[in-house]
Amino acid sequence: MNHLFKEGSDLNNTTLLLLHGTGGTERDLLPLADVIDPEANVLSVLGNINENGMARYFKRLAAGVFDEEDLKFRTKELNDYIDEAAKEYGFNRDKVVAVGYSNGANIAGSLLFHFKDALAGAILHHPMVPLRGLNLPDLKDTPVFIGAGTNDPICPPEESTELETLLKGAGSDVTLHWENHGHQLSSTEVQAASKWYTAQKNRLN
């Protein structure tokens, strides 16, 4: 998968997996990584689905309607790629924390839904419930931050609260943070995610 990798202060410490929104690039979330943990390794992956010239991580049938079979396939593809990248670059596969926005947050959520050890933790900015009707793996050691919008027209508040409920039901320690900026990723939301990450750092490392 097209990507960029930046080695941090220690390959054995956290690697931030950056996953952009629809139409984004692998460079979009680099400023977030600098705020969240400037010493972390960074693996930023470009979505390899092209939707009318916009990069995405999986196909959709319509706005807000996911192609579930493609989502499952792409989730496994991404998980396998993280395994390969860990071998290539030498970072600790057990200390990968996803930072995803919108479409990127959705596939990060799908990683949590499908694979017990895919992520050590996740920061999900404006995610939806990736799939329903799944038996989630045990996520008691996988803390999650959800950044949501009370007036988000793309990701309704009900999606955020349902995702929180599902993740908590699987044992995850979930923090749900609300903003009032629609689907926009605001600086205050990023700061809240950074504060959460700092508080969780001992668990994530």
CATH at 92: 3.40.50.1820
pLDDT, average across residues 148-170: 95
pLDDT score for 204: 76
In the predicted structure, residue 7 carries a pLDDT above the cut 90: yes
- pLDDT band, very low/low/confident/very high, at 106 (cuts 50, 70, 90): very high
pLDDT, average across residues 75-84: 98
pLDDT score for 202: 76
Tell me the pLDDT of the chain averaged across its residues.
95
What the block records as the tokens of 138 is 């045990």
pLDDT, average across residues 51-69: 88
pLDDT, average across residues 44-66: 90
In the predicted structure, residue 205 carries a pLDDT above the cut 80: no
If one counts the domains in the chain, the total is 1
Task: Give me the active site residues, please.
Answer: 102, 152, 183
pLDDT, average across residues 18-44: 96
In the predicted structure, residue 63 carries a pLDDT above the cut 90: no
* Domain, as residue range, for 74: 3-204
pLDDT, average across residues 4-22: 97
In the predicted structure, residue 162 carries a pLDDT above the cut 90: yes
pLDDT score for 189: 97
In the predicted structure, residue 61 carries a pLDDT above the cut 90: no
In the predicted structure, residue 75 carries a pLDDT above the cut 90: yes
- pLDDT band, very low/low/confident/very high, at 64 (cuts 50, 70, 90): confident
pLDDT, tens digit (0-9, with 9 covering 90-100), for 118-151: 999 999 999 999 999 989 999 999 999 999 999 9
pTM of the model: 0.96
